[in-house]
Chains A and B, each alone.
Chain A
Amino acid sequence: ETGVTQSPTHLIKTRGQQVTLRCSSQSGHNTVSWYQQALGQGPQFIFQYYREEENGRGNFPPRFSGLQFPNYSSELNVNALELDDSALYLCASSLAGSGDNEQFFGPGTRLTVL
C-alpha cells in the first residue's frame, strides 16, 4: 500500500448538499492532487495543492474547492452537489522537486449523490 489514506470510504448525499472529503499524504510528501473518476473514464484532474496553496486546477467549477494543512493533509469540498458529481474521488501525494513527480494514490472515496 502507498501510505495515502482517504476518508470516508463511501458517502451518500442529496442534491444541493455540501461534502468534505479528506486525504492524508504519504510521510515526507508536500504536494496533494485530487482527481474525479466517473464511471467508464480515467481519473480527471481537479486541482493540486503545494505548501497550502492551490498549484494548478483542471476544468472544474468553483464549487469544487480545497485546502491543504501544515501537515500536508488535504480536504476537497464540493458545494451545491449535483447528480453528476457522483464518482470516485482519488487523492495522490507526491514530493515536489523529486524529478519524476511520481504520485502515490489513496484508495478513494465513493460519493453517491441522490
Chain B
Amino acid sequence: ILNVEQSPQSLHVQEGDSTNFTCSFPSSNFYALHWYRWETAKSPEALFVMTLNGDEKKKGRISATLNTKEGYSYLYIKGSQPEDSATYLCAPQGSARQLTFGSGTQLTVLP
C-alpha cells in the first residue's frame, strides 16, 4: 500500500493568483502518476498521466511536473479563475497498475 501525501489540504486564493500543490509518494515500484480534478457533484476528471522522471505536462493554465527519483509531483495553476475551484487529487500507480489516491487539495478561488 502506497503512502500518498498531498499538501496543502485546502487553499483559498484570489482570482488571478497563481498557485501550486504538492503530491509526494514512495519512489520505489513506480509506474505512473495521475492527476485528477474533482468538482462537487461531478465525476473526477483526468488532468494528466505522467510516467517519466522530469516529465512536464500542460493543459491551458494548468501544468504539472514529476520527479520519480525523489517521489513528488507539483501541480501549478496560473491565473486562477473561480471555475478552477475543485478538489485536486493525485494518484500514483505501482506495478500492480492500481491507483492509490491522496486525500486531495481543496482549492477555492475567490472572485
Closest beta carbon of chain B to A73's beta carbon, Å: 17
How many residues of B are in contact with the other chain, CB < 8 A?
Answer: 26
Please tell me if the beta carbons of B89 and A42 are within 8 angstroms of each other in the complex.
Answer: yes
A40 within 8 Å of B (CB atoms): yes
Please tell me if the beta carbons of B1 and A59 are within 8 angstroms of each other in the complex.
Answer: yes
Please tell me if the beta carbons of A40 and B46 are within 8 angstroms of each other in the complex.
Answer: no
Secondary structure of the A contact surface, majority rule: loop
Which of B32, B36, B96 sits near A56, CB closer than 8 Å? B96
Stretch of A43-51, A60-68, A74-82 that contacts chain B = A43-51
Please tell me if the beta carbons of B103 and A40 are within 8 angstroms of each other in the complex.
Answer: yes
Please tell me if the beta carbons of B98 and A48 are within 8 angstroms of each other in the complex.
Answer: yes
A4 within 8 Å of B (CB atoms): yes
Most buried by A among B4, B45, B97, B103: B97
What residues of chain B lie closer than 8 Å to A40, measured between beta carbons?
A: 103
Please tell me if the beta carbons of A1 and B99 are within 8 angstroms of each other in the complex.
Answer: no
- Evaluate whether A102 and B49 lie within 8 angstroms (CB atoms) in the complex, with A40-B103, A41-B103, A43-B101 already known: yes
Enumerate the 8 nearest inter-chain pairs by beta-carbon distance, A residue then B residue, closest first.
Answer: A42-B101, A100-B49, A105-B44, A105-B43, A45-B98, A43-B101, A42-B103, A107-B43
- Seen from chain B, the residues whose Cβ lies within 8 Å of a Cβ on chain A are 1, 4, 6, 32, 34, 36, 41-46, 49, 51, 89, 91, 93, 96-104
- Seen from chain A, the residues whose Cβ lies within 8 Å of a Cβ on chain B are 1-2, 4, 33, 35, 40-45, 48, 56, 58-59, 90, 100-108
Using A42-B103, A100-B49, A107-B41 as known contacts, list a sample of 4 further A-B pairs with CB atoms less than 8 Å apart, ordered by residue number in A: A40-B103, A42-B91, A101-B93, A108-B43
